[in-house]
Each structure stands twice: as structure tokens, then as C-alpha cells.
Amino acid sequence: PKQIGLVGHSEGGMIAPMAAVESKDIAFIVMMAGLGVKGDQLILSQNELLSKAGGLSEEARAQSRLLYTRIFAILKEEKDNTVAGKKIQAALAEALGKMTEEQKQGFAPIKAVVDAQTGMYVTPWFRYFVLYDPRPILMKVKCPVLAINGERDLQVEPDENLAGIRDALKAGGNEDYTIIKLSGLNHLLQTSKTGAVSEYRAIEETMSVTALETISDWILNHTVALKGAAPRAK
């Protein structure tokens, strides 16, 4: 039991701390691109970064932020899924009604996403994610933690999320945590030029050797039976 650890990526990096709090058998956790900010904040940041990478104008991105802020408010206030879905579509129509034809053209990619995903927005999972705050859970994690993010992660922005994880662990009294931002890596911890989602399939590398070695070295150093063993060759 002293050597059981959890390694989770993205949402898995959100779940690993939950499991560590629930079970004393968890000896360590590794959070790869895990959450350090609230769910709604993460989605707003993600939309901003991905939209900017996709070439959307600042005006369209600002309109998107306003719309998604309204969508999150609807999800927090309205428990009935059918009613919530209608209110989301009404919020979209209202936003479009205030735009010029030129603005509507620039906003078209956002409209397409909202139209396609309104049904997903009212699912239990998305509702939970929007409301989720990782801080209270992270403050209860007492086992060693490694949190890593890629520098070019556009889905889980590295600086704010790693800072959130660090602050929560520190506030909770955890004395053994390591926070690392890996240069040049995307959300999937691949070596990437821009971090854009469109690059994922084009990159032959499944996962950066640097990321793999960072994780494995840290785990070996925190595994009881292997403490004191000779360091691995670089």
C-alpha cells in the first residue's frame, strides 16, 4: 500500500486528488495538466486561448466571454435541463441580436459550438465541472504531489493552474509537492510548435521523453522501496 500512486491527466488530474483524500492507501499523486482553478474559470481561459489560436478577433473573443459567463450563470441558477437549454439558446439569440452582420460573421464559430453543444451543457458532468472548485480538495491532500503542465497548453493554461495547485497545497500544509512547467509542450505533453489542438494528430510523438523522465524520476524518488537507490542515468 505504501507504493500505490495515481497518475492522472487533465480531468484525471482533477480526480486523483479526490481519490487521495478518500483513501489513505494512496502514497503519491501525479497531476498532468490538472485543474488549479474553478471549472468555469478554466473554460473561459480555454475558450480565450483556443479562439485566439484559431484566429478569432479580440471583439469576437470578448463577445464569447460575455456569452459563456451568461451560460454559466444559467447553469448555476436553473436546475431544469429543458428550461436551461432554452435559456442558453435565448442568451445566444440575444447576443446575436446586438451584433452587426460583420460581427455575426466573426462570431460564427462560437455560435456553431454553442448550437452544437447546448445539450452537453446541461448534462450532469458539465454542470458539475462548471461548479467545481479544486482548492478545498487540494488543501486536504497530504501525500506527495507532482503537478506538471506543458508551457504551450491551451486547454489548461499552465501558469494560473499550477499556481492554484501550489497555493492550495501550501495552504493545506502539504510539505512535499513539486510544481513543474515543461518548456515547449502542449496539453498532451507533446513537443509542439503552437499548442493548438489541430497539431495533436500531426505530432508523431505520443508523449515527450522529458515529461516521461520527469514523472518517472519523481516517482522513483518517492517510492519507499527504491529510496536510496542509485540515481537513474540521464
pLDDT band at 199, cuts 50/70/90?
very high
- Please give the pLDDT value at position 180: 98
Residue 221's alpha-carbon distances to 104, 176, 203, 214, 218, in angstroms, are 55, 12, 31, 11, 5
Instruction: Judge whether 91 and 70 are in contact, CB under 8 Å.
Output: yes
Question: Could you tell me what percent of the chain has a pLDDT over 90?
Answer: 72
Instruction: Tell me which of 185 and 56 has the higher pLDDT.
Output: 185
146-196 pLDDT, tens digit per residue, is 999 999 999 999 999 999 999 999 999 999 999 999 999 999 999 999 999
72-91 pLDDT, tens digit per residue, is 999 999 999 999 999 999 98
Q: Where does 5-37+135-226 sit in CATH, by number? A: 3.40.50.1820
Region 88-104: what's the mean pLDDT?
84
Q: What is the pTM of this model?
A: 0.88
38-54 pLDDT, tens digit per residue, is 999 999 999 999 989 98
pLDDT band at 229, cuts 50/70/90?
very low
| Calpha distance 96→98 (Å, rounded) | 5
- Please give the pLDDT value at position 141: 98
Q: To the nearest whole number, what is the mean pLDDT of the chain?
A: 91
Segment among 19-28, 100-109, 147-156 with least mean pLDDT: 100-109
Cell of 140: 486536504
Residue 42: CB atoms within 10 Å = 23
